[in-house]
Structure 1
Amino acid sequence: MSLDIGDAISNGVERLTDRNGLLLLGVFVAFGLVNTVVGQSLFTSYLEFVRSSFETMPGGPGMGEQPFPFAPGGQSMPLALPLSLPVVAALSLGLAVLSEALRIVTIRVVASDERATIPDTATRNIGMATVTAFLLGLVVNLAVGIGLVFLLLPGVFLAVSFYFVRPAIALEDKGLDALSRSWELATGNRIDLFLLLVLVWFISLLASIPATILNFVSPIAGALVGVVVNAVVLVFGIAVATDAFLQLRTDEDEDDDIGAVDADSEFFDAEREEL
C-alpha cells in the first residue's frame, strides 16, 4: 500500500493543534526567538570582523581608499546583540545541537498516543540520539546540497531517500544505519514522498508571505511574526514526516505478516502432501 498524502497532512494538522502540539509550538517559538537573536548577532559580528580586517589591510580605507561597502548592522538586523564573534559562534553551535534534541523529542511526542501529556519516553537516550541526528544531518545536508548545486535531480532524489533519518533515530533508536533504514522505507514510495515534500514546502511558502511583507513595514515586527510562522511550519513538517514514517512502517509490518502466513501455508501444504 502506498503512502496516503492526505492522511499525512491532516494528521500533521491534528497533532499540531492538540495540547501537546501547542506546547511544542510554544517551545519552538521561544527557541526560534533566541535562535533569531543569535543568528542576527552572528551575521553582524561577522560583518564587523570583516570590516575591521578590511580597514587594516594595506591600501584599505585608512589609506584613502573607498570605505567598506557593507554596513555591519542596520535595520535589517533589528534583534542583533553586540556580541563577539567567538561567543556568538559558540552559541550558534549549541543551538544547532539543541535544535536536534527538540526535533527528536517532537517526533516521539507526535508518534505517541498521548495527546494531553508529554510521554516519559520522549527523552529516552536523548544524548546519543541528538549526537547521531546532528552528525547524520550534516552528512545528509552536505550530500543533498552537492546534488542540488551540480545536478538538481540527484539532490532531490537524496532528499527524498533520507527523509526518514530523524524518525528512524527517534523511534527505532537507529545509529548510522538510520541512513539505510530511511532509504529502505523510501524505496518504492519516492514519487509520493516527493509530492508530499513539495506540498509541505508550498504550504510553508504561503505561510511565510505575511512575515515577508510585514518585514518591509517593520523589521522588528516582521522578525517576530517570522519566528512564530517558522515554529508552526517546523512542528507541522515534523508531524507530517512522522506520520508518513509510521504509515510506511505499518505497511511494512503488514507485508511481513502476510509473508509469514504464506510461508506457513506452503509448509502445511507440503506436510499434507507427504501424508
Structure 2
Amino acid sequence: MALQIGDALRSGLDTLLSEDGLLITGVFLLFNLGNTVASSTFTAALFDEMMNMGGPAGPGSVAGAGAPGFSVSDFTGPFSLDVAMPVAVVMVLLFLLIGQLIKFWGIRLFAEPREIMDENTSDRAVMAVVLGGGVAVLTFALSMSSSALNASGRPLLGGLAGLVGGLLSLVVGLALVYLLQSIALYDGGYVATLKHSVARFMDAPAQIIVLLFLLALLGIIPGIPSTASVVSMVLPGTFNLPSQSVLQVVSMVLNAPVQAFSLAVITDAYLQVRADQDDDGF
C-alpha cells in the first residue's frame, strides 16, 4: 500500500484536536517563545559582529538594507537580549536540541504503545539529541555559512555557499524526513536507524514530497503577521497594523498548532510506510 496522503492529513487533524494534540500544541507555544528570544538575540549579536567587522551599514541601520532609518531592533522586536555572540550561539544551539526532544516526545505521545518498538525512552531520547540534533545543527551551520562569508567581505563565495547550503539542506531534509520518527518508534542502533529512516523515505518518495509541500503551504500562514510587520516598516502608513511585537506573538501562537499538526501528519505517514514493510533488513 502506497502512502495515503489524505489518510495522513485526516489522522493529523484528529490527533491535533485530541488531548495529546492540545498538550503538544501548548508545549510548542512555550518553545516558540523561548526560541524567538534565542533567534532574536542571535540576530542582534550577528548584526553587532558585522558592524564591528566594518559592515556596509552605518550606525543604527541594517546592513545592506539601504534604509538608514532602520535599526536591528526593528526586526528583532523586544525579544532580543544584550549578550555576547558566543552566548547567543549557545542559546540558538540549545533550543535546536530542545526542539528535537520536544518532537521526540510528541511522536511517542502520538503513537500507540504497540507502535513503539523500543520502550527505553532515555536511550532513544539521547539518540534524538545526537542524531536529530546533529542534523539540525548541520543545517543551521549550512544556513549561516553564507552570512559569515558575506560579513567577511566575500559576497561571491557567500552566494555560492548559500546556494550549495540550501541544496544540501533540502536533500538532507528530504532523505531524513522520518529521522525523528525512526528514533522514537524504531529499535535499531544509530546506523540502523539512519538506514531505516532513508529506506522509509524511499518507500514512497513522491507521496511524502507532495505531503511536505502541502505542509509547507500551511506553514506560510504563521509567517503572514511577521511579514506584514516588516512591510509596514518599509512602507509606513500603508497598513494600519498592530505593533511589531504583537504581530510576532500572533505568529508564535499560529505556528504552534501548525507544528503539532505537521508532526502528527509526518508520524502517521511514517507508520503507514513502516506497516508496509514486514522485514526490509533495516
- TM (normalized to structure 2)? 0.72
Query: Counterpart of 1:40 in structure 2: which amino acid?
Result: S
Query: Counterpart of 1:20 in structure 2: which amino acid?
Result: D
Number of aligned residue pairs: 241
Computing the radius of gyration over CA atoms, which structure comes out larger, 1 or 2?
1
CA–CA distance in structure 1, aligned partners of residues 167 and 54 of structure 2? 40
CA shift in 2, pair 1:122/1:224, >3 Å: farther
1:252 aligns to what SS in structure 2?
coil
Contact 1:97 1:130 in 2 (8 A): yes
Aligned-pair CA distance for 1:180? 1.6
Could you tell me which of 150, 161, 181 is aligned with 1:167?
A: 181
Partner of 2:104: 104
Which stretches in structure 1 are left out of the alignment for 5+ residues?
115-120, 257-275
Contact 1:164 1:241 in 2 (8 A): yes
Query: Counterpart of 1:202 in structure 2: which amino acid?
Result: L
Aligned-pair CA distance for 1:179? 2.6
Which segments of structure 1 move beyond 6 Å, counting only runs of 4 or more? 140-148, 151-155
1:183 pairs with 2:198: yes
Aligned-pair CA distance for 1:178? 2.5
Partner of 1:48: 48
Deviations 1:110-153 (A, max 9, x none): 11369xxxxxx594422233222212444578899999935999
Could you tell me which of 240, 256, 259 is aligned with 1:231?
A: 256
CA shift in 2, pair 1:143/1:76, >3 Å: closer
CA shift in 2, pair 1:75/1:13, >3 Å: same
Contact 2:16 2:264 in 1 (8 A): yes
Could you tell me which of 250, 256, 259 is aligned with 2:275?
A: 250
CA–CA distance in structure 1, aligned partners of residues 136 and 48 of structure 2? 30
Contact 1:48 1:72 in 2 (8 A): no
Partner of 2:67: none
CA shift in 2, pair 1:154/1:235, >3 Å: same
CA shift in 2, pair 1:19/1:38, >3 Å: same
Which stretches in structure 2 are left out of the alignment for 5+ residues?
63-69, 146-159, 233-240
Contact 2:142 2:166 in 1 (8 A): no
CA–CA distance in structure 1, aligned partners of residues 93 and 26 of structure 2? 22
Return 194-203 or 73-82, whichever deviates more. Answer: 73-82
Deviations 1:20-63 (A, max 9, x none): 111111111111101101211111122123323439xxxx99xx
Query: Counterpart of 1:103 in structure 2: which amino acid?
Result: K
CA–CA distance in structure 2, aligned partners of residues 252 and 200 of structure 1? 25
CA shift in 2, pair 1:93/1:246, >3 Å: same
Identity of aligned residues (%): 26
CA shift in 2, pair 1:84/1:123, >3 Å: same
Aligned-pair CA distance for 1:74? 2.7
- TM (normalized to structure 1)? 0.74
2:264 aligns to what SS in structure 1?
helix
CA shift in 2, pair 1:230/1:155, >3 Å: same
CA shift in 2, pair 1:194/1:142, >3 Å: farther
Partner of 1:219: 244
Aligned-pair CA distance for 1:196? 0.8
Return 133-142 or 88-97, whichever deviates more. Answer: 133-142
CA–CA distance in structure 2, aligned partners of residues 73 and 235 of structure 1? 31
CA–CA distance in structure 2, aligned partners of residues 46 and 153 of structure 1? 24
CA–CA distance in structure 1, aligned partners of residues 171 and 50 of structure 2? 37
Partner of 1:30: 30
Contact 1:132 1:176 in 2 (8 A): no
| Residue pairs, 1:115-194, within 5 angstroms | 123-125=121-123, 126-138=125-137, 149=163, 159-174=173-188, 175-194=190-209
Partner of 1:196: 211
